[in-house]
């Protein structure tokens, strides 16, 4: 089994954390999906990371689907609860966290454009998504140690990956001053080897 990733990708990191938490042996292949010749070309029709290649050659792509697949293997810990209410809660929080990451990616890409070609309105729109997404995660967490009574799982993984990605790509947004609950959650989970060993690393963005 191998997982094709990009070093900065919060989506790829989500899959990596899930693999490490479950103790699944997997080769990590670093690629740059922006380049025409990359390890993911011809494997994932969308040319995106993460992409998981199974031992039999089957391909699973998109972090949401990859984590779902890993859950079918029956290995602990359970990251997506079976209980319908908790399951939907985890998936909803994942959607918010991924939406934050989407907005950060779009902000970074717009920022790579020449100054006179950047859209202020576009940047403001993405910034609003980041701010309001973080506020919603803070509201949903409240004063608890985890988002649901099922404990650590997908919701927490996706949230920490999103918060670290903000720090990595959009450090001018100081989320810690507005989200004390998330600060506590982030501090607790960042100590786990699955998070400390998968922090986002720089990779060249395309010139636009």
- CATH number of the domain at 98, please: 1.20.1050.10
Check whether residue 64 and residue 126 sit in a common domain: no
Tokens representing 66 are: 């990859």
Check whether residue 66 and residue 137 sit in a common domain: no
pTM over 0.85: yes
Q: Over the stretch 119-133, which tens digit does the pLDDT of each residue have? A: 999 999 999 999 999
Q: Is residue 207 pLDDT above 80, yes or no? A: no
Phi, psi of 148 (to 5 degrees): -130, 170
Lowest mean pLDDT of 40-54, 96-110, 192-206, name the range. Answer: 192-206
| Per-residue pLDDT, 74 | 97
Q: Over the stretch 133-180, which tens digit does the pLDDT of each residue have? A: 999 999 999 999 999 999 999 999 999 999 999 999 999 999 999 999
Q: Is residue 111 pLDDT above 70, yes or no? A: yes
Q: Helix, strand or coil for residue 6?
A: coil
Lowest mean pLDDT of 17-21, 43-47, 90-94, name the range. Answer: 43-47
Phi, psi of 2 (to 5 degrees): -140, 145
- The mean pLDDT value of the chain amounts to 95
Where is the domain boundary, 45, 72, 99? 72
Lowest mean pLDDT of 95-99, 113-117, 122-126, 147-151, name the range. Answer: 113-117
Number of domains in the chain: 2
Residue 113 structural domain: 84-196
State how far the Cα of 8 lies from the Cα of 11, in Å rounded to an integer. Answer: 9
Check whether residue 103 and residue 59 sit in a common domain: no
Contacts of 40 (CB under 8 A, 6+ apart): 4, 31, 33, 47, 48, 49, 51
State how far the Cα of 107 lies from the Cα of 187, in Å rounded to an integer. Answer: 26
Long-range contacts of residues 45-51, Cβ cutoff 8 Å, at least 24 apart: 49/4, 49/5, 49/6, 49/9, 49/11, 49/12, 50/3, 50/4, 50/5, 50/9, 50/11, 50/12, 50/14, 50/15, 50/16, 51/3, 51/4
Q: Over the stretch 33-71, which tens digit does the pLDDT of each residue have? A: 888 788 898 899 999 999 999 999 999 999 999 999 999
| Per-residue pLDDT, 112 | 86
Place of tokens 């920490």: 160
| Per-residue pLDDT, 206 | 55
| Per-residue pLDDT, 208 | 39
End-to-end, the C-alpha distance of the chain in Å comes to 34
CA distances (Å), origin 207, targets 9, 11, 108, 169, 203: 18, 22, 11, 16, 13
Where is the domain boundary, 72, 98, 119? 72
Calculate mean pLDDT across residues 6-23. 97
**Beta-bridge partner residues of 61:** 51
Asked whether residue 205 is domain-assigned, the answer is no
State how far the Cα of 161 lies from the Cα of 50, in Å rounded to an integer. Answer: 14
Check whether residue 121 and residue 39 sit in a common domain: no
| Per-residue pLDDT, 203 | 84
Q: Looking at residue 98, what DSSP letter applies?
A: H
Q: Is residue 11 pLDDT above 90, yes or no? A: yes
């Amino acid at each position: 089994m191998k997982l094709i990733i990009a070093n900065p990708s919060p989506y790829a990191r989500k899959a990596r954390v899930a693999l490490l938490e479950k103790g699944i042996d997997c080769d990590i292949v670093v690629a740059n999906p922006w380049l025409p010749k990359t390890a993911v070309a011809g494997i994932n029709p969308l040319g995106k990371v993460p992409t998981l290649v199974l031992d039999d050659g089957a391909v699973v792509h998109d972090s949401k689907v990859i984590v779902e697949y890993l859950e079918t293997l029956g290995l602990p810990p359970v990251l997506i609860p079976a209980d319908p209410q908790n399951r939907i809660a985890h998936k909803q929080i994942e959607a918010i966290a991924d939406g934050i990451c989407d907005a950060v990616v779009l902000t970074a890409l717009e920022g790579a454009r020449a100054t006179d070609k950047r859209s202020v309105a576009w940047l403001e729109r993405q910034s609003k998504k980041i701010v309001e997404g973080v506020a919603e995660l803070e509201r949903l967490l409240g004063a608890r140690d985890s988002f649901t009574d099922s404990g650590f799982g997908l919701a927490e993984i996706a949230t920490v990956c999103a918060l670290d990605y903000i720090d990595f790509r959009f450090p001018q947004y100081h989320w810690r001053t507005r989200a004390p609950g998330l600060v506590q959650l982030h501090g607790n989970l960042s100590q786990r080897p699955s998070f400390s060993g998968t922090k986002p690393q720089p990779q060249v963005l395309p010139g636009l």
